[in-house]
């Protein structure tokens, strides 16, 4: 399996595209469904989609990881459904009249997927199948699926192109690879699907991943733990990812898979030291044995991201880190409390 999603002739056609549509090119109002829309990436996407008041927005989230506080600033601009994407009846009702689906709902934490295999399989594989089937039955025109760099596993060479073999190292990567295969199965002339493989996304509202963990611990003066200390990863700012999602949602032929990353290597000790410097923290670095389940080396080949989506990340992928630390320092750490408007 070579990771290819579009036929070779289609990929060749895309490589010749000169003018790439932007998020401003959405010509007419759409009804848009966002699964996982109260989560980290999903809520930032809803923020951007809500800027176009002509669009009808529907958000589905079971609030297992998502938080309604993430959507407070666009309250009243969307319909919220608290529910599970494995609920077939709920999906069938929600999909009525929908033109475009952004499918982000997932067990999105590698270690969480490993420790709860049943949930990760149900959410990421069964849930994706149910979303695809409901979208097909409802006549949805387009779906954007957020896959992950985890589908590649531990690649022997960097950067990693979309043609690299699919060799997931953990249950999370396997579940995303399965989701991609179901996308391939459901894709048709009437139902166009775009697949984006996201690198390590960072930004406000995230938690339980390396950058928010390091920032929180640095601000509290606690040690920053490096598992192995030799990891090299690709970090990408949330706003760039949202722009990629918006462009992938524009009408047109299938897109994918496309890496969405900075294309720049960041080693974790350097990341940790930069966070310590920008937060003026006296926290110590603690190096412990590596966790075998985690991919230790990944940098995205972003050639297709530039050619198909017209997006090029900044040379310094961490340039927003100082702003993120400053914001985190000004507010209390999230408690997980939900506002009272969560669902009718």
- 286-316: pLDDT as tens digits: 999 999 999 999 999 999 999 999 999 889 9
| pTM of the entire predicted model | 0.88
| Every domain of the chain and the residues it spans | 8-201+237-261+299-314
Domain 8-201+237-261+299-314 has what CATH class?
A: alpha beta
At residue 294, the pLDDT reads 93
At residue 250, the pLDDT reads 94
Angle (CA) 158-296-37 rounded to 5° is 95
163 DSSP assignment: T
Angle (CA) 30-237-205 rounded to 5° is 80
At residue 289, the pLDDT reads 95
At residue 260, the pLDDT reads 98
Residue environment code for 286-305, b if the CB has 16+ CB neighbours within 10 A, otherwise e: eeeeeeeebbbbbbbbbebb
CA separation for the pair 169, 293 (Å, rounded): 7
Task: Indicate if 227 belongs to the active site.
Answer: no
Smallest CA-to-CA distance from 195 within 211, 176, 213, 210 is with 176
Q: Tell me which of 102, 152, 172, 182 is the catalytic residue.
A: 172
CA separation for the pair 81, 93 (Å, rounded): 11
183-120-127-167 Cα dihedral, nearest 10 degrees: 10
At residue 309, the pLDDT reads 96
CA separation for the pair 224, 285 (Å, rounded): 5
Q: How far is CA 21 from CA 11, 248, 303, in A?
A: 17, 9, 17
Residue-by-residue pLDDT tens, the chain, 344 positions: 333 333 332 333 332 233 344 444 444 679 999 999 999 999 999 999 999 999 999 999 999 999 999 999 999 999 999 999 999 999 999 999 999 999 999 998 888 888 889 999 999 999 999 999 999 999 999 999 999 999 999 999 999 999 999 999 999 999 999 999 999 999 999 999 999 999 999 999 999 999 999 999 999 999 999 999 899 999 999 999 999 999 999 988 889 899 999 999 999 999 999 999 999 999 999 999 999 999 999 999 999 999 999 999 889 999 999 999 999 998 744 444 444 344 43
CA separation for the pair 161, 181 (Å, rounded): 18
């Amino acid at each position: 399996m070579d990771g290819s999603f579009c036929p070779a002739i289609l990929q060749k056609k895309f490589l010749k595209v000169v003018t790439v549509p932007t998020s401003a090119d959405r010509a007419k109002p759409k009804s848009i469904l966002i699964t996982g829309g109260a989560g980290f990436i999903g809520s930032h996407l809803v923020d951007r989609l809500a800027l176009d008041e002509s669009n009808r927005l529907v958000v589905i989230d079971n609030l297992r990881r998502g938080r309604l506080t993430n959507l407070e600033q666009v309250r009243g601009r969307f319909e919220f459904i608290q529910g599970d994407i494995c609920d077939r009846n709920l999906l069938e009702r929600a999909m009525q009249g929908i033109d475009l689906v952004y499918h982000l709902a997932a067990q999105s934490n590698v270690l969480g997927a490993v420790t709860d295999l049943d949930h990760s399989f149900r959410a990421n594989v069964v849930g994706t199948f149910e979303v695809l089937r409901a979208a097909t039955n409802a006549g949805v025109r387009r779906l954007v699926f957020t896959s992950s760099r985890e589908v590649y596993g531990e690649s022997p060479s960097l950067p990693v192109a979309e043609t690299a073999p699919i060799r997931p190292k953990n249950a999370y990567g396997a579940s995303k690879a399965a989701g991609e295969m179901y996308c391939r199965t459901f894709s048709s002339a009437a139902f166009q699907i775009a697949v984006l493989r996201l690198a390590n996304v960072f930004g406000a509202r995230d938690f339980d991943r390396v950058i928010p963990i390091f920032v929180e611990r640095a601000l509290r003066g606690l040690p920053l733990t490096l598992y192995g200390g030799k990891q090299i990863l690709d970090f990408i700012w949330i706003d760039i990812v949202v722009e990629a999602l918006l462009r992938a949602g524009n009408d047109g032929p299938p897109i994918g898979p496309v890496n969405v990353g900075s294309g720049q290597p960041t080693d974790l000790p350097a990341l940790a030291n930069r966070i310590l410097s920008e937060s003026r923290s006296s926290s110590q670095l603690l190096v412990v044995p590596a966790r075998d389940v985690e991919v230790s080396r990944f940098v995205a080949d972003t050639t297709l991201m530039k050619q198909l989506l017209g997006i090029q990340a900044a040379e310094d992928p961490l340039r927003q880190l100082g702003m993120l630390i400053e914001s985190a320092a000004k507010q209390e750490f999230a408690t997980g409390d939900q506002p009272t408007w969560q669902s009718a």
